[in-house]
A = this chain, B = another copy of it.
Amino acid sequence: MVIVMKLNATSEEIASVVENIESLGFKAHLSRGEERTVIGVIGDERPVEPEHFEAFAGVERAVRILHPFKLTSRDFHPEDSVVKINGVSIGAQSVIVMAGPCSVETREQLMMTAAAVKDAGAHILRGGAFKPRTSPYSFQGLGLKGLELLREAREQLKMPVITEVMSSQDVTLVAQYADILQIGARNMQNFALLHAVGEIQKPVMLKRGMMSTIEELLMAAEYILSHGNARVMLCERGIRTFETATRNTFDINAIPVLKTLTHLPVIADPSHGTGKWELVAPIARAAVAAGADGLIVEVHCDPAHALSDGAQSLKPEKFTRMVEQVRRVAEAVGRTI
């Protein structure tokens, strides 16, 4: 941490900050410039927030030097983490494709879509049983019934399954049905839920909040790792910006930034990242070109009658074409699908 004092900070104010630094077990390191005094905090500053020092009289601002995350940091774990699930390795040389309907609606809908995405080359089946919906009047998912259908599809097709868990109360239940638990964007900072999935031994895919910085995403992952579960993958799914031409702005920069900062695998969600099915294939290609370790894509056999997210769902034949295109891009960057 570096603490910048105000122009007219008194020596008492400086002394009071230094005393506090030392009382917290750090060393203080003064540097008097022409205009300002700057105080360096020497030690592992992570447990302290800059705001702590900004409460002192005479302090203009405090700036972190170290990233606040540690377990998720590549600094302390230079090699890529690979998450293995029933023979599928995520974060390794091969790009992984997860696909399926936004919501599980009926057995027929799920089985048809699951078979189609498997045929097209998908490795993992996605499908929502518990659905976070902005409106209380929208379809909220089939719940337990949806989980049972997912298990059926999982067994029939021998594909691992990923599904969302929305509440800490449901973690144990969902973990009995799914191979990967998804934490949705709106729950990225639901700390009770992060705590709960940190205590089980199932892989977790943590989606970036639409309002969250990359640092906050890594801190949310840190919650899970610090509670004992290291099998975490991160998912970029678009952020909220002023642009309204698309539902979200897919933050393509986040992919190489995350690959630099962390050892965890990075998945891209071009369906939510754009909100429009026409844009899914180009953004899927872009994400893999930028270094994503996997994709998660919404596919529906009849998007016009989907109970959720129809506008961003690909039909199976379009999904098949997308996988073909992505495969060529993956090969161009030295990977496979």
Residues in A lying within 8 Å of B, measured CB to CB: 2, 4, 7, 16, 20, 29, 31, 33-36, 38, 40, 42-44, 46-47, 49, 51-52, 54-57, 63, 65-66, 68, 75, 132-138, 166-169, 186-187, 189-193, 209-216, 219, 222-223, 226-227, 239-246, 249-257, 260, 273-279, 282-283, 285-291, 303-304, 306, 309-313, 325, 328-329, 331-333
Contacts and interface: CB of A to CB of B under 8 A. Distances in A.
Contacts of A285: 289-290, 333
A286 B242 contact: no
Q: Which one of A7, A16, A186 has the highest number of Cβ atoms from chain B below 10 Å of its Cβ?
A: A186
A189 B186 contact: yes
A191 to B, nearest CB: 5
Contacts of A291: 282
A329 B325 contact: no
A169 B166 contact: no
Nearest to A227: B136
Given A65-B33, A138-B49, A257 B251 contact: no
B214 A286 contact: no
A54 B278 CA distance: 11
Nearest to A169: B169
Q: How many of these chains are in the complex?
A: 4
A254 B241 CA distance: 13
Contacts of A29: 31
A63 to B, nearest CB: 5
18 contacts: A16-B304, A20-B304, A31-B40, A35-B66, A36-B65, A46-B137, A55-B310, A133-B191, A136-B222, A136-B223, A136-B226, A136-B227, A211-B211, A211-B212, A239-B241, A243-B251, A282-B289, A328-B333
A190 B191 contact: no
A25 to B, nearest CB: 12
Contacts of A243: 213-214, 239, 251, 253-254
A273 to B, nearest CB: 7
A54 B311 contact: yes
B191 A132 contact: yes
B55 A303 contact: yes
Nearest to A75: B7
Nearest to A261: B245
A313 B55 CA distance: 8
A166 B134 CA distance: 19
Nearest to A224: B136
Given A210-B211, A285-B289, A253 B279 contact: yes
Nearest to A276: B54
Given A211-B211, A279-B257, A134 B333 contact: no
B214 A245 contact: yes
A135 B49 contact: yes
